[in-house]
Amino acid sequence: MTYRAVGSGTGQYEFIGEQNGFVPYNDFGAGDIPISTADYNKLVVDNNKEIIHVPFVIGAVNFFHSVSGFDVEDDEAGLNLSACTLAKIFKREIKTWNHEEIVKENPQMAGISQDIHVVHRMNGSSSTASITKFMAEACPDHWPADLVGKKITWPEDTYDADGSNQMAEKIRDLPGAIGYLDVGHGHAEALNEIRIENKAGVYLSSKEAKIKGGIGAPVLGALPSTADADHGEVDVLNEDGEITFPIVLVSYIYVRKDLSHLRTSTEKTLLKLFLKQLVNPDIIKTCEEFGFSGVPEGVVTNALNGIESLNTTGGPEWVYETVATTIKGAGAGDYVISEKRRTYGEYEREVSREYIHLLQESVFTEATMESEAPQKLEPESTGSGNAALVVSIVSIVIALVSLLYTHCKLSGLKENTVTFASNHKEVEAL
């Protein structure tokens, strides 16, 4: 299976295939926004191309900043912003961090005259669609409906970001920057999250809301009862509730009911197994470390019914073998995806991660001991200076390796399109 992180806008374009006679360019698509009603009607009503939405995780998008000294981990020091203040910032009506409207919500900002640098996504993205819709719903007087969408026209004195990775880089590297990301990515990059005001007037970060159960709450009852229905009007933004986070997203897989565009019947049944595992609570709970939650039980039932409606006639049945359940005999055969099967490369990566963790603990312990040790009055020797330099270099290398690993893990949840490898043995090895 191969993966392209191209954004929800491109993913939907390739899934719909309007410029290709409504034949999809990809095998299936994924994104954090549903197919719009207009595109659904083009596919289903006008061209008889039935589709299903498979909701599989719930996440959040939020604003992040690089104003020093206002880390959201400290609730008292966190930067608070309402939807109207955010709207004025992104329209460039507010250009400095000590503007009176920001200071009204954050008195501690009065002495910070730093300029605000606004960063936005360049191409169509679900995060842009979500934050613009949130601002329009929560503050329509300052963010009009014509500025809502996956891709909009931004003021000229703002910064483009091509994808989530570049967004994170620009927020981090531009002093006084503000931008937006899915919260799992923002937290992995150690960016400062803004506490935004919800509909009840409570300022919350996504971490605070998740602890209180306010991320998944808006999804209950918001989705259609069948997977093949139009999901274009699904809206879980800016819902009521003191603990409710206002910018919540549902991640979907988009699938054609008619899978004749796939190369073989084997791929059709493999896709079916893959989709079932995406709504398996035991599988999807691994996403929690990145800030995502599984969908409610009722949504899982509807998704499974939709998956069963896919036309996979003639394909072999694939089986999933878990660590806890050994399938004797058949588990060693074809058409089996097994948690027990690993390549040597996977084993090496696991060992490397354990070594990195041990090195991190060792460096942290030594750094702590040095900081707590009594300071010498005489200059340090060249040997101890070299040792400190070595420790610093090791720390940097470990940090870079850890960041690379985090990026690799996160890439599996980014907005994307997916294409199967043509050989099932190759897929099984993955």
Q: Which regions of the chain are under pLDDT 50? A: 376-391, 394, 406-430
71, 90, 176: which is closest to 128 by C-alpha? 90
The per-residue pLDDT for 423 is 39
Burial 364-380 (b: 16+ CB within 10 A, else e): eeeeeeeeeeeeeeeee
> In the prediction, which pLDDT does 213 show?
86
Helical segments of 24-125, H only: 37-40, 83-90, 100-105
Q: Which pair of tokens denotes residue 14?
A: 């390739």
Among 170, 192, 176, smallest CA distance to 112 is for: 176
pTM above 0.85, yes or no: no
Amino acid at the residue 132: T
The Cβ of residue 102 has, within 10 Å, a number of other Cβ atoms equal to 24
Query: What is the model's pLDDT at position 416?
Result: 45
Tell me what pLDDT residue 28 has.
93
Specify the 3-state DSSP secondary structure of 46. Answer: helix
Locus of tokens 């039932």: 301
Q: What is the DSSP letter of 96?
A: B
> Which pLDDT value is given to residue 291?
77
